[in-house]
Amino acid sequence: MENRYYSKKSDRYFSKRLDFLIYAHDGRGLGHASRSIAIGIALRRLFPKCRTLFLSGCKETRALIGPAPLDWMKLPSYVTEVVEGQSQGRDGDSRFNKSVLTILRSDTLASIVRIFQPRNILVDHAPPGKRGELRRALEETEGTDTRWVLGLRGIIGNDSNVLSDNSIEIFRKYYQSLFWYGDSEVLGRDALDAVASRFGVKPVETGYVSRLKELKDLLPTDKGSIAGTIAIPWGNEKTWVFLENIYSALRAVGDRYGLWHLYVARDKRDGIQERFRDLSFCSVREVSEKYVTSLLNSKMSVLYAGYNSLSDILAAQVPAVMLLREVGDKEQERHLKRLMSYTKDAIQALEESKTDAPTLQAALEKQLHAPPFENQGINIGGAEIAASILGKGVLCEE
């Protein structure tokens, strides 16, 4: 096929080519979008003349980008729930059946790639995209100079979207590079070597990708002015039961340490707000760009132990209680266990389904008095490293 994307400066298509297209599918949490946005922000900072665009169905994208100058396009959203530890998809808020939505998103993605003709496309997590929706976009670039790059979090878990024979075949056919968003000194060489063996390439080890690290210099800080930040961006049936323990623990702690900010899923905000109405020192808010500022200025935090939250804690250096959900592949437990050997007393782990209110209260009190958080040499510069590699050799024009 003719290389129709390559052009000289005089070519009429030159001025409309996109330098970086960053794709993250919408999952049950915010990790895919958060990592990708962090790299997008780093690209805008390091290569301000380049044309950069983020693409996702994640409904919280605007809140995750915050004040950073990163533009984005919204796909109709999937909805993912966790039932008895397993992820399950259902129809999205656009009310399209999820199978029809896959077709529509696939057509949209192929059109975007055809129109914008990206030089580089960074994909988070799944080589074929959510439900295989990147297949047609991948085919669009056959015979062109578009470079596809896959990014994987440090510990993947047992995810067939990533590790299936079909996904590996697609990676080997279309992708040129693989970023591993981990620190092998923390997670061990075995995690990195397993990725290399399965994908048949040597991954580029970037370190942890932290959106909060990219945003810190853009936000106001008043360290310790907030007692704590609690984030529940999504949940399952056990999460909403556990919320009663959070209420009881905070009621027992009281207002001695200042205000508490709770950031919750938009569709749960009103109900949770009503439940916490009598706790005047607790403010219930939907997930927004204010979360990062709140976390930076908190004495401690209560977060669920996904990659996104762990990288937030590493960047903010705020003591934390990390909550573990019952998820089938135990990926978060394995990750947190390795990380805690480097963070010492700064992180305390609790299992959501096995923790009562008094235990949670004791954990809050302990972390409120924890010693200053010290990052013991953990590499959290992954966004800048990934962006630097992506931008290497790219000619950016005004």
Average pLDDT over residues 356-368: 97
Q: What percent of the chain has pLDDT over 90?
A: 70
Question: Which of 330, 326, 287, 329 lies closest to 309 in space, CA to CA?
Answer: 287
- What's residue 323's pLDDT? 95
Q: What is the 3-state secondary structure (H, E, C) of the chain?
A: CCCCCCCCCCCCCHHHCCCEEEEECCCCCCHHHHHHHHHHHHHHHHCCCCCEEEEECCCCHHHHHCCCCCEEEECCCCEEEEECCEEEEECCCCCCCHHHHHHHHHHHHHHHHHHHCCCEEEEECCCCCHHHCCHHHHHHCCCCCCEEEEEEECCCCCCHHHHCHHHHHHHHHHEEEEEEECCHHHHCHHHHHHHHHHHCCCCEECCCCCHHHHHHHHCCCCCCCEEEEEEECCCCHHHHHHHHHHHHHHHHHCCCCCCEEEEECHHHHHHHHHHCCCCCCEEEEECCCHHHHHHHCEEEEEEECCHHHHHHHHHHCCCEEEEECCCCCCHHHHHHHHHHHHHHHHEEEEEHHHCCHHHHHHHHHHHHCCCCCCCCCCCCCHHHHHHHHHHCCCCCCC
Q: pLDDT per residue over 13-51, tens digit each? A: 445 799 999 999 887 678 899 999 999 999 999 999 999
Angle of CA points 24, 309, 386, to nearest 5°: 50
Residue 125 confidence (pLDDT) above 60: yes
Q: The dihedral of CA 120, 289, 25, 210: what is its sign?
A: positive
Q: How confident is the model at residue 90 (pLDDT cuts 50, 70, 90)?
A: low
Instruction: Name the residue type at position 175.
Output: Y
Note whether 31 and 153 are within 8 A (CB): yes
Mean of per-residue pLDDT scores for the chain: 89
**Structural domains of the chain, ranges and CATH numbers in brackets:** 14-209+381-391 (3.40.50.2000), 216-368 (3.40.50.2000)
256-298 pLDDT, tens per residue?
Answer: 999 999 999 888 999 999 999 999 999 999 989 899 999 999 9
Nearest of 138, 134, 120 to residue 40 by alpha carbon: 120
Tell me the one-letter amino acid at 121: I
Q: Which structure tokens are listed for 269?
A: 């905000």
Contacts of residue 270, defined as CB under 8 A and 6 or more positions apart, other chains included, come to: none
- Note whether 117 and 6 are within 8 A (CB): no
Express each pLDDT in 59-83 by its tens digit.
Answer: 889 999 999 999 999 999 887 665 5
- Residue 91 pLDDT more than 80? no
